[in-house]
């Protein structure tokens, strides 16, 4: 198993309580170890009814801690050592019982004692029947734990193990728990903490009639990556996205729209901001008179004429707005004369920087995962080599940080 990753060198104390979702904790152990974390497992007695310590120990490649009064461990007060010798405590699954004990400071087994003794961040992934989760006593306990500084992930909505039951109560998926752990343990600098950012991403869909629309090939990959990188740098990000098939980046406020006018309204709504990065491939035109019913094809009749009208230019609107963000960045997706066109766009749109890329079909940029961009500023051009869109995002965010926080 790979030992280097985002969690290399991190020790995660994983407390597994007794619920059917415990089977997902086996996968959680693997995912954490894949990313380089060391996982120290603690199981409650009830957990051992659902999965075996043998399976947990084998996957973690660690001793599984089960008893408060373990003769070997308690020679050196093992529960205190467990509570301190880690970077983070994860409770997955967290049952109503364990949540109740934590909220009330009870400690009558190893798991609850370690939780009382730890000063590390605690991440709780509840899993229980939806009726139990919505019980006022459980809500009260969960609210108390939030006040006390614990972090929660889930529960999420979906089907229950109980036949035919569904609702909010399922444990969050292991990969989502891993992502939350990465966020909690991320101690990289946050140069954009306290800054607000607006990002537009994806295509727009301009309806022709209720079933047809005008669209383009934008996947949203670059815009979403920039939103994620800004959030990682500590910015408070509003991501306004047209229709895409990408998952929502973690830690950003999503506003989902279809049409350019909706995107413009959402962008204006998100002001004031310090940073605006307009990456969306906004349709230049929309259909002038959208049909309220599906346009019918009649034999022998000429095809309908589509009269188009111009869409608002969101970048230009923001770039010249009285609440203009300090840093306004646009994109120029061109198939020819890329840099010249981008330079002309700088002043016209009121942008500080234009990220220019060649989207000729042979480049594979639109819809692909790599990008080759040039950064056009009033005082010059910086040509970046081909790289992943995620790396373009990282570098752009570094540039944004430099511009907003000059040395």
For the annotated catalytic residues, the residue numbers are 216
Six-digit token string for 375: 């950064």
> Is the torsion defined by CA of 339, 283, 218, 202 positive or negative?
positive
The residue range among 71-79, 142-150, 268-276, 328-336 that interacts with ligand C5P, by the rule CB under 6 A, is 328-336
> Which CB atom, from 17 or from 276, has the smaller least distance to ligand C5P?
276
Interface residue with ligand C5P among 330, 338, 366, 390 (CB under 6 A) is: 330
362: CB partners within 8 A, 6+ apart? none
Contacts 24+ apart (CB under 8 A), 259-263: 259/204, 259/205, 259/206, 259/207, 259/286, 260/204, 260/206, 260/286, 260/311, 260/312, 260/314, 261/286, 261/311, 261/312, 263/200, 263/204, 263/314
Interface residue with ligand C5P among 313, 352, 358, 394 (CB under 6 A) is: 313
> Is the torsion defined by CA of 190, 264, 241, 391 positive or negative?
negative
Footprint (CB under 6 A) of ligand C5P, residues 170-209 = 200
> Which CB atom, from 35 or from 264, has the smaller least distance to ligand C5P?
264
Q: Is 315 in the site for ligand C5P (CB under 6 A)?
A: yes
Given a contact cutoff of 8 angstroms between Cβ atoms, the answer to whether 224 and 201 are in contact is yes
Q: Is 282 in the site for ligand C5P (CB under 6 A)?
A: yes
Footprint (CB under 6 A) of ligand C5P, residues 249-268 = 260
Radius of gyration of the chain measured on its C-alpha atoms:
26
What is the spatial distance between Cα 129 and Cα 83, in angstroms, rounded to a whole number? Answer: 29
Interface residue with ligand C5P among 92, 278, 373, 400 (CB under 6 A) is: 278
The residue range among 24-32, 211-219, 233-241, 273-281 that interacts with ligand C5P, by the rule CB under 6 A, is 273-281
Q: Is 219 in the site for ligand C5P (CB under 6 A)?
A: no
Determine the size of the site formed for ligand C5P (CB under 6 A): 14
Q: Is 352 in the site for ligand C5P (CB under 6 A)?
A: no
Smallest distance, Å, CB 105 to ligand C5P?
53
Summarize as ranges the residues that interact with ligand C5P (CB under 6 A).
200, 260, 278-280, 282, 311, 313-315, 330-332, 345
């Amino acid at each position: 198993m790979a030992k280097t990753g985002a969690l290399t060198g991190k020790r995660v104390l994983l407390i597994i309580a007794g619920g059917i979702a415990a089977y997902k904790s086996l996968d959680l152990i693997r995912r954490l170890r894949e990313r380089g974390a060391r996982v120290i497992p603690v199981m409650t007695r009830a957990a051992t009814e659902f999965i075996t310590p043998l399976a947990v120990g084998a996957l973690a490649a660690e001793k599984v801690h089960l008893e408060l009064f373990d003769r070997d461990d308690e020679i050196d007060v093992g529960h205190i050592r467990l509570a301190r010798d880690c970077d983070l405590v994860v409770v997955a699954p967290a049952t109503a019982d364990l949540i109740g004990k934590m909220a009330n400071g009870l400690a009558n087994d190893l798991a609850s004692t370690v939780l009382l003794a730890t000063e590390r961040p605690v991440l709780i992934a509840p899993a229980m029947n939806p009726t139990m989760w919505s019980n006022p006593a459980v809500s009260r306990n969960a609210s108390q734990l939030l006040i006390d500084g614990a972090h929660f992930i889930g529960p999420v909505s979906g089907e229950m193990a109980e036949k035919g039951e569904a609702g909010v109560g399922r444990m969050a998926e292991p990969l989502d728990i891993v992502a939350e752990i990465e966020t909690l343990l991320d101690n990289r600098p946050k140069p954009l903490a306290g800054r607000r950012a607006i990002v537009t991403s994806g295509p727009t869909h301009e309806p022709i009639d209720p079933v047809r629309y005008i669209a383009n090939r934008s996947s949203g990959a670059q815009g979403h990556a920039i939103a994620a990188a800004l959030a990682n740098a500590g910015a408070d990000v509003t991501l306004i996205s047209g229709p895409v098939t990408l998952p929502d980046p973690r830690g950003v406020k999503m506003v989902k729209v279809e049409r350019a006018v909706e995107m413009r309204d959402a962008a204006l709504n998100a002001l004031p901001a310090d940073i605006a990065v307009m990456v969306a491939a906004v349709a230049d035109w929309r259909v002038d008179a959208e049909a309220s019913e599906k346009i019918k094809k009649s034999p022998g009749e000429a095809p309908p004429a589509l009269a188009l009208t111009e869409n608002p230019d969101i970048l230009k609107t923001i770039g010249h707005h009285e609440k203009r963000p300090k840093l306004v960045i646009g994109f120029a997706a061109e198939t020819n004369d890329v840099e010249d066109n981008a330079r002309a766009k700088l002043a016209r749109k009121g942008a500080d920087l234009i990220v220019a890329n060649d989207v000729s079909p042979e480049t594979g940029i639109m819809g692909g995962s790599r990008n080759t961009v040039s950064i056009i500023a009033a005082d010059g051009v910086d040509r970046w080599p081909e790289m992943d869109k995620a790396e373009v995002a990282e570098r752009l965010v570094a540039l944004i940080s430099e511009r907003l926080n000059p040395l």
